[in-house]
Amino acid sequence: MKLISGKEVSQIVKDEIKKETQQLLEKQIKVKLAVVIVGDDPASHIYVRNKKKACEYVGFESVEYALPEDTAEDELLEIIDKLNEDETVNGILCQLPLPKHIDEKKVINAISPLKDVDAFHPVNVGKIMIGDYDFLPCTPAGIMRLIESTGYDVNGKDCVVIGRSNIVGKPMSMLMLQKNATVTICHSRTSNINEKIKNADIVIAAVGIPEFVKGDMVKDGALVIDVGINRKEDGKLCGDVDFDEVSKKASYITPVPGGVGPMTIAMLMQNTLKAAKLHNNIT
Ligand code: GUN
Q: What spacing in Å lies between the alpha carbon of 265 and ligand 1's midpoint?
A: 10
Residues catalogued as catalytic: 51, 95, 118
pLDDT in tens, the chain (283 residues): 999 999 999 999 999 999 999 999 999 999 999 999 999 999 999 999 999 999 999 999 999 999 999 999 999 999 999 999 999 999 999 999 999 999 999 999 999 999 999 999 999 999 999 999 999 999 999 999 999 999 999 999 999 999 999 999 999 999 999 999 999 999 999 999 999 999 999 999 999 999 999 999 999 999 999 999 999 989 899 999 999 999 999 999 999 999 999 999 999 999 999 999 999 999 8
- Answering whether pTM is above 0.85, one says yes
**Nearest ligand 1 atom to alpha carbon 97:** 1
- Answer yes or no: is the C-beta of 31 below 6 A from any ligand 1 atom: no
> Does 265 contact ligand 1 (Cβ within 6 A)?
no
Q: Is 118 a pocket residue for ligand 1 (Cβ < 6 Å)? A: yes
Q: How do strand 237-238 and strand 2-3 relate by DSSP bridges?
A: unpaired
10 in ligand 1 pocket by Cβ < 6 Å?
no
Q: Give the Cα separation of 13 and 85 in Å (integer).
A: 29
Contact predicate 225/143, CB 8 Å: yes
CB atoms within 10 A of CB 243: 21
Q: Which of 236, 182, 187 is nearest to 212 (CA)?
A: 187
Residue-wise pLDDT tens digits, 186-226? 999 999 999 999 999 999 999 999 999 999 999 999 999 99
| Residue ranges in the chain assigned as alpha helix (H) | 6-26, 42-58, 73-85, 104-110, 122-129, 138-150, 169-178, 193-198, 243-246, 260-279
DSSP β-bridge partners for residue 116: 92
Q: pLDDT at position 283, please?
A: 87
Atom of ligand 1 nearest to the CA of 268: 6
The shares of helix, strand and coil residues in the chain, as percent rounded to the nearest 5, are 45, 15, 40
Query: Closest Cα to residue 77, out of 102, 114, 48?
Result: 102
Ligand 1 centroid to Cα of residue 86, in Å, is 22
Q: Which residues of 224-239 are buried (b: 16+ CB within 10 A; e: fewer)?
A: bbbbbbbeeeeeeebb
Give the tens place of pLDDT for each residue, 89-128: 999 999 999 999 999 999 999 999 999 999 999 999 999 9
Query: Any residues with CB less than 8 A from the CB of 195 and at least 6 apart, and which?
Result: none
